[in-house]
Amino acid sequence: MLQKVIRKAKEMYYNKSLSSSTNKSKTSWNISINEIGTASNKKFIQMEYKLGNGNISTKQSANIFNNCCIISVDELITQQPKTEC
């Protein structure tokens, strides 16, 4: 019973915060951080992986992945026919 009351009180508090906020995205983000917690305390360890005859770092692989995704999205956008509203 207490857990239900606490959950409802949080919901009401967060709804009030969001409705009175001028920057709803930032408020939503802050609510998420409060509920989930942050990963800022975790330290990133640079690692290298063997890829064929060479090595690739985690940062390089992340950059390659991001570039691939960005290029794919750009290609999809340019392939879409433009429609007028």
What's the pTM value of the predicted model, to 2 decimals? Answer: 0.41
DSSP H or E stretch at residue 25: helix 24-36
Q: Give mean pLDDT, residues 2-8.
A: 87
26-80: per-residue pLDDT in tens? 888 888 888 887 655 666 677 787 777 888 887 888 888 878 777 777 777 777 6
Other residues' Cβ atoms within 10 Å of the Cβ of residue 81: 4
Q: Is 53 helix (H, G, I), strand (E, B) or coil?
A: coil
